[in-house]
Amino acid sequence: MWQKLRAIEAQTRNRSIAESLFCAPDRASDFSLCVDGILFDYSKTNIDDETRKTLVSLAEKAGVKERRDAMLRGDKINKTEGRAVLHTALRALEGGGEDGAIMVDGEDVIAQARLTYERLKTFARDLRSGDWPGKGRRITDVVNIGIGGSDLGPAMALRALGPYADGPRCHFVSNVDGADLRDTLHGLDPQTTLIIVASKTFTTLETMMNARGALAWLEQGCDAPMDQMVAISSAPDETDRFGIKRENVFGFGDYIGGRYSIWGPVGLAVMVAVGPENAAAFLRGGAAMDAHFATAPLDENMPVLLALVGLWHQKFCGYPTRAVIPYEHRLARLPAYLQQLEMESNGKSVAMDGSPLAHGGGPVVWGEPGTNGQHAFFQLIHQGQDVVPCEFLVGAEGHEPDLRAHHDALVANCLAQSEALLQGRGLEAARNSLISKGYSRHDAERLAPHKVFAGNRPSTTLVYPKLTPYVLGQIIALYEHRVFVEGVILGLNSFDQWGVALGKELADGLIPAVAGGDLPEDINGSTGALLRYIHVCRKA
């Protein structure tokens, strides 16, 4: 299939996407899919019927259906760590998904997750109502300390759900740079602040340093600091050592990866801010996408099609990056969230059996919200020599009816950008446009090459009715399953992340030297010189 797809791409690479749309009036409907209110349009790509059929055959041959079913029933598909992959179980707790038992090592994952979920809801309701911790002081602010999935997920979701946030104010600390903690705590009252420490192992360097700093801050300003600290962790011995009460610890199984953990206890800050009812709607949206992914034929399956379009562009067209451009200010953190989801999952060089990947790993993912990106990197996207497929997201409606004109302009810009990427502008059109604006023929000839847009650049557009908790759940689950499908087809394990370990190990060894101790004997010349210069600067 790989060879056939390469041959198809070679035959069609110079074909005009715009002409394909013009010559086939039904192309927009034939190359789009609407599921539960979300429309995915991939008609502005060079994919035709034959390409799509062959891509779907590639997915079938790779065993996407079989691997999907194995994941959903709790098989240990994370082979390198010997773990099941069951973040989908966390969103089956509010209906809309399979709520029967899922057994892993003799334990009912669903039953365990439901018990924790009920505890989370009670905790969030008590905190929001002022009944917790029962000391007569209402919690006004929550500080979530975590990193990676323990930060990116809740921070992204809370910003996305801003219109629904009517609980305590939530803040996020992730960077080990002391400025992050200091700036976040500045202006907060220790007596009315809850600290959530989110670390699965409760040993993560950055998180635990920030947790100790936050504890010292609480100790200076309140009588019982441990009453105002909560742990999201599956390491009760470590949380005991830190001093956090067992009733304030919420754990989750090793079948939940960090970047997939927003659906469970890691989402506590979000539940506190928007309330258990809205958090439940978020879960239902994810469960609805799960049900579609689990049952729809591959050629009518939104996560599968999203994955196949991405693979087509990266592996066959040779475009190494993709830009995610949400035309939704509240999705400003979505590109960063998807960077981790995609690149930590599929940024691999070896297959499941440890052999080199035959076709390489996943793409570079980046982006910013529109319209800001239009005034930053869109110059390169439109006129640069490297083609960057764009994935646009936009809501049909916003949350500000009194600012409808703003949203109209936002949507118009989103559609215009995909149109500009498609149509482009040739030399003659650029010359005529300049002349029509009053430029002399000489100046028009001189400037016209600078006004040329190559066009024929692919994009997809995801349109949703309005950014609600339910819709956000749909979107996140959609991208999670997309990453899974890509990983299966590429033949890698999307659920480990060994690549983050080496730098952490080396950092642990360098901390004493940075603090002023002797340099390690095996340190290289460059790092040694950098450390010596840092010491000189500190002594100046």
Question: Mean pLDDT, the chain, as a whole number?
Answer: 95
Mind listing the pLDDT tens digit for each residue in 261-301?
999 999 999 999 999 999 999 999 999 999 999 999 999 99
pLDDT band at 135 (very low <50, low <70, confident <90, very high): low
pLDDT band at 380 (very low <50, low <70, confident <90, very high): very high
Q: Where in the chain is the domain with CATH 1.10.1390?
A: 505-539
Architecture of domain 90-277: 3-Layer(aba) Sandwich (3.40)
Q: Taking residues 34-44, report their average pLDDT.
A: 98
- Are the C-beta atoms of residues 124 and 272 closer than 8 Å to each other? yes
What pLDDT is recorded for position 504?
84
Q: How large a percentage of the chain has pLDDT more than 70?
A: 99
Please check the confidence at residue 133 and state whether its pLDDT lies above 80.
Answer: no
pLDDT band at 96 (very low <50, low <70, confident <90, very high): very low
Mind listing the pLDDT tens digit for each residue in 230-245?
999 999 999 999 999 9
pLDDT band at 522 (very low <50, low <70, confident <90, very high): confident
**Rounded Cα gap, residues 408 and 498, in angstroms:** 45
Q: Of 188, 196, 165, which is closest to residue 273 (Cα–Cα)?
A: 165
Residue 301 identity? N
CATH classification code of 505-539: 1.10.1390
Instruction: Specify the CATH superfamily of domain 2-10+18-74+296-419+457-494.
Output: Glucose-6-phosphate isomerase like protein; domain 1 (3.40.50.10490)
pLDDT band at 134 (very low <50, low <70, confident <90, very high): low
pLDDT band at 98 (very low <50, low <70, confident <90, very high): very low
Mind listing the pLDDT tens digit for each residue in 312-358?
999 999 999 999 999 999 999 999 999 999 999 999 999 999 999 99
**Rounded Cα gap, residues 76 and 421, in angstroms:** 43
pLDDT band at 526 (very low <50, low <70, confident <90, very high): very high
Q: Supply the Cα-derived Rg of the chain in whole angstroms.
A: 25
Catalytic residue among 94, 206, 344, 368: 344
What pLDDT is recorded for position 136?
61
Does the annotation count 504 as an active-site position? yes
Mind listing the pLDDT tens digit for each residue in 302-325?
999 999 999 999 999 999 999 999
Does the annotation count 344 as an active-site position? yes
Distances (CA, A) of 261 to 3, 88, 154, 233, 368: 37, 10, 9, 11, 23
pLDDT band at 97 (very low <50, low <70, confident <90, very high): very low
What pLDDT is recorded for position 93?
85
What pLDDT is recorded for position 310?
98
Q: Where in the chain is the domain with CATH 3.40.50.10490?
A: 2-10+18-74+296-419+457-494, 90-277
What pLDDT is recorded for position 99?
52
CA angle 234, 236, 240 (to 5 degrees): 145
Please check the confidence at residue 496 and state whether its pLDDT lies above 90.
Answer: yes
Catalytic residue among 4, 79, 245, 375: 375
pLDDT band at 95 (very low <50, low <70, confident <90, very high): low
Q: Of 403, 132, 116, which is closest to residue 268 (Cα–Cα)?
A: 116
What pLDDT is recorded for position 100?
77
Residue 472 identity? L
Mind listing the pLDDT tens digit for each residue in 441-476?
999 999 999 999 999 999 999 999 999 999 999 999
Q: Of 78, 79, 13, 72, which is closest to residue 47 (Cα–Cα)?
A: 13
List of E strands, 82-223: 103-104, 107-108, 141-145, 169-173, 193-198
**Rounded Cα gap, residues 413 and 407, in angstroms:** 10
Please check the confidence at residue 259 and state whether its pLDDT lies above 80.
Answer: yes
DSSP state of 314: I
Cut 0.85: pTM above it: yes
Catalytic residue among 79, 135, 245, 504: 504
